[in-house]
Amino acid sequence: MTNQTYLTSAAGDAGAVEEMRGGNVPNLLWQAITFEELRDNTDFQALPPVQELRLAGPEDYRYVRQDSDLWDALHAGVCTTSCLNGALGFFEPQAAKVLHLPRGYASHSPAMSAYHRLRLPVYTPPFHHPDAATDEPIPAAADADDSAPATASLPESSSMARKKRRRRKNDAASQVPTAEQLHIKQAPATASKAAAQAAITRERMRLQSKSRSAANRGEGSVRMAWGSAQEAATLVSLMAAFPSSSLQEVGLCWLDTNTLPPEWGFPPGTLPPLGPLSTLAADAGSFLQELQPSASHIQQQPEPKPTAMDLHASMGGGVIAEVVEVKNTCPFRLQTRISRKGARQVFVVADRGPRDQVPVQWVAQLQMEMLAAPQKPSSALLVSRSATKGITLFRMVKNEEFQRLMLYFVSRAASGHFDEAQQTAFITDNSTLNARGRPYMTSLSHSWA
């Protein structure tokens, strides 16, 4: 073993002398925690195990955990955020040029993959239809108080913040669906604890195996695996940065077309199933956060555009519910080394730090997640975290015109109509993409390790 903290190297490998510097297999467990461990956090409102859940229809997919087999099965025939950019034509050669994407992104394959995904039959799990005389229907997940303004609070003393947080958590707990309402079979507490520990052990063993298989496939696979493995740790970092806040786990949120403005022109049946979720490359799933940032954490971008959210102006009472998206920066890079036996490639730690801006190819994902979230938030948080250099937080405000055009082109892609010139014009004319998201972004301090 070269170094258990960073990398591992095969026994007897000549490269093992390069301790603390490189190895054959990146360690995805470095600083990682599992989702089961995250769900034990008192500030995290977790979903129940999927096998104990009774679903009444697609509107209840939001209760499905993202690390379940059902979560994967529900992707079939659905335009998730993993194929959204392809459906929008963002990677078409001309569009990629307009967006200044790296040359390797330009390809017609993502558009074709999105088209074929949308042609798949939609998977429908067995639904539970409660008896109206004996059972209550599955309620919606706890929403933010509609009467509360979408603002952040002023800094409070630590004692006041703790008392207010306890009251808010108690109120939130009373709104969260009960086991009986969700038709969940409750297991004994001791059995549940033992099962949770077993799940943690299985997940860690899976990540160890995933480290080796990802290394065998190359640097790209390692980056994807790292993002997935580190998501829970990133959310813990986020909760530590905002101790007055809480996170609520949300599953696959299908877009309810009945909630769209009539003037958008999308009556029922005109759109393919849309279920925004994060790709496995950065794995996120959608989380709703009640955020109350301290003023000391807020740092506006230089010369913010008029469309940017003015956090200082919104300092009042109440809470806001926002979608939270996680993007992890992989610290591992392949490096060629020369030895007496010749050249070989090893993985080294070369952490570039968190993102300093939101890549243009993430804009549509955030806009779609805001559109589909049942709470209809007006903004989303994007968390970029590196292994050694802390996190950066971005806030994006919803853009209804962008969302409308996005749905239009997704509907065209689903029907097999793809006009690169028209979609390139959409990209060229849309200021959100032209400015790589900056006019709609507010950056928060990135000094958290």
State the total domains in the chain.
1
d(CA 197, CA 349): 31
Query: Is residue 202, in this structure, part of any structural domain at all?
Result: yes
- Binned at pLDDT 50, 70 and 90, residue 287 comes out as very low
pTM over 0.95: no
More confident residue, 316 or 413: 413
* Predicted local distance difference test score (pLDDT) of residue 297: 34
Query: Is residue 327, in this structure, part of any structural domain at all?
Result: yes
Structure tokens at 180: 């009986």
* Residue 399 CB contacts under 8 Å (≥ 6 apart), including other chains: 367, 432, 440
- Residue showing tokens 């390809």: 107
d(CA 70, CA 74): 6
More confident residue, 280 or 365: 365
Structure tokens at 137: 């229907």
More confident residue, 314 or 254: 254
* Predicted local distance difference test score (pLDDT) of residue 36: 85
Give me the DSSP letters along 389-424.
S-EEEEEEE--HHHHHHHHHHHHHHHTT---HHHHH
How much helix, strand and coil, in percent to the nearest 5, is found in the chain? Answer: 40, 15, 45
Helix (H) or strand (E) holding 306: none
| For residues 16-37, average pLDDT | 73
What is residue 132's three-state secondary structure? coil
Phi/psi of residue 416, nearest 5 degrees: 90, 5
Q: Are 275 and 255 in contact (CB under 8 A)?
A: yes
Give me the DSSP letters along 70-107.
HHHHTTTT-B-HHHHHHHHTTTSHHHHHHTT--GGG--
Query: Is residue 130, in this structure, part of any structural domain at all?
Result: no
* pLDDT of 264 strictly over 90: yes
254, amino acid identity: W
Query: Is residue 2, in this structure, part of any structural domain at all?
Result: no
Q: Which of 215-224, 275-284, 351-360, 409-418 has the lowest mean pLDDT?
A: 275-284
Query: Is residue 230, in this structure, part of any structural domain at all?
Result: yes
Please, what is the Cα angle at 413 between 409 and 417, to 5 degrees?
100
d(CA 131, CA 137): 9
Structure tokens at 335: 């490096």
Query: Nearest Cα to 22, choosing from 44, 1, 43?
Result: 1
* Predicted local distance difference test score (pLDDT) of residue 365: 92
Q: Are 111 and 305 in contact (CB under 8 A)?
A: no
Query: Is residue 129, in this structure, part of any structural domain at all?
Result: no
Q: Max CA-CA distance within the chain?
A: 79
Domain span at 271? 7-124+139-448
* pLDDT of 261 strictly over 90: yes
Mean pLDDT, all residues of the chain: 70
* Predicted local distance difference test score (pLDDT) of residue 262: 94
